Amino acid sequence: MNLTQEDWVSQLEADQNAVLLDVRTEDEYNDGIIENAINIDIHKGQEFIAAIEALDKSKNYYVYCRSGARSGKACEIMNEMGFENAYNLMGGILDWDGEVVAPE
């Protein structure tokens, strides 16, 4: 499901069952992330699928990339794999108004 930044943030902040998922490359991820995001690079193909399959389907996933295109695709893939709650950040980190931090 595509959400505007405002909706994505308000839903995320109210969600006790949320997981932040960054589907950019490792280099992009290392340039700065939305706090607490985990990185699973969608460009890794089968490795991406395997990593997604290992995730807990009972959680709610807030997915982002650089511009919203890859994360939109990731959400589609997750929906096909049985994830009911995958939320795409429209506009991606390029349009992100919130804080960006260095990954730990």
Query: Residue 10, Cα to own-chain centre: how many angstroms?
Result: 15
- Residue 86 — very low, low, confident or very high, per pLDDT cuts 50/70/90? very high
The one-character DSSP state at 43 is G
3-state secondary structure of 86: strand
pLDDT at position 43 is 97
The CATH number of the domain covering residues in 2-95:
3.40.250.10
Annotated active-site residue in 65, 74, 75, 78: 65
Q: Is the pTM above the cut of 0.95? A: yes
The pair phi, psi for residue 62, each rounded to 5°, is: -110, 110
Known catalytic membership, residue 75? no
Q: What is the mean pLDDT of residues 71-89?
A: 98
> What does the pLDDT look like over 37-77, one tens digit per residue?
999 999 999 999 999 999 999 999 999 999 999 999 999 99
Q: 27 phi and psi, to 5 degrees? A: -60, -45
Give the per-residue pLDDT at 104. 85
pLDDT in tens, 4-42: 999 999 999 999 999 999 999 999 999 999 999 999 999
* E strands in 8-102: 18-22, 38-39, 60-64, 86-89
